[in-house]
Amino acid sequence: MDKYIRVARVYPAVLGMLPTCILLAMCIGEWFPPYQELVGSVKWVLCLIGGTALVSMAVGYLVREVFKETSKWLFQYRLFKKDETEMPTTKILLWQNAAISPAYHKEIVAKVKATFGIKLPTKEDEQADLCMAKKTIADAVYQIRQNCRGDVILRQYNIEFGFCRNYLGASVWSILLIIGIGIANIFCGWLSWWAIGVVLIIQVLLMVACYLLLETRGWTYAKYLFATFTGIEKPRDC
């Protein structure tokens, strides 16, 4: 399996659904107490968690795609826009943001022109039509990404960004399922409420952490992308 698919898509899906699998395992444990006594509590819980995880992985591709699209529509497109005009890779090349030095900016502009024949917007172009300036930069960034695709460290940054983004989608569905289990628990009384509450709080905190990391990973990727493209010394990830 490709490393990007494994780390940026499969792992977030499995980790995102793990709290839900644990709660389901605890519910099933309440349904079959004789078997729980026979096998032993530790082995029982591990067996149930593994079993529910395998069931989820049986429809792995569909689940991964649902999580990916959920994270894109709820988080990525809201933060960075569908046309990527608000991505850090676009913002970093806007003169008005001053995210990089003017000299470095001019170096990137010159290399984009020489390599792809694309004229990046000037300060005056930005002031006249900021929307079109962003679209021009986004088009150029796509070409730069293709040009730098073989860089191993850049790919790792891309994987980290993909992991955070896709984990957010998995977390949304996990939280919804935990809430569903909580509603069912009102009528069935399978679990103690503290267990449901703790799992829900942990899932929400992990989701918030990944949300905060998403833009940070995006900016780290953007800086390294242009460092790779221009061939200067790569910045360290602090």
Residues in the chain: 238
Angle 76-82-87 from CA coordinates, rounded to 5°: 60
Instruction: Confirm if 36 and 44 have CB atoms less than 8 A apart.
Output: yes
How confident is the model at residue 228, as a pLDDT? 92
Could you tell me the pLDDT band of residue 19, with boundaries at 50, 70 and 90? confident
pLDDT at 158 over 80: yes
* Whole-number average pLDDT of the chain: 81
Instruction: Confirm if 85 and 134 have CB atoms less than 8 A apart.
Output: yes
Letter for the amino acid at 237?
Answer: D
Phi, psi of 97 (to 5 degrees): -85, -25
Q: pTM of the full predicted structure?
A: 0.74
Q: Tokens 């390599």: give the residue.
A: 115
CB-facing half-sphere around the CA of 225: CA atoms within 13 A: 25
pLDDT digits 0-9 by tens, 128-153: 999 999 999 999 999 999 999 888 88
Task: Determine the Cα–Cα distance for residues 11 and 79; give it in Å rounded to an integer.
Answer: 23
Other CB atoms within 10 A of residue 187 CB: 7
Task: Determine the Cα–Cα distance for residues 238 and 227; give it in Å rounded to an integer.
Answer: 15
How confident is the model at residue 238, as a pLDDT? 40
pLDDT at 189 over 60: yes
Task: Determine the Cα–Cα distance for residues 128 and 135; give it in Å rounded to an integer.
Answer: 14
Task: Determine the Cα–Cα distance for residues 12 and 71; give it in Å rounded to an integer.
Answer: 11
Q: Structure tokens of 209? A: 């952490």
Alpha-carbon distance values, 123 to 44, 95, 128 (Å): 65, 6, 9
Higher pLDDT pick, 12 / 71 = 71
Q: Structure tokens of 193? A: 């409420």
Question: What's the average model confidence in pLDDT over 166-191?
Answer: 86
pLDDT digits 0-9 by tens, 61-82: 677 788 888 888 888 888 888 8
- List of residues 6+ apart from 56 with CB closer than 8 A: 13, 14, 17, 21, 63
Q: Three-class SS of residue 234?
A: coil
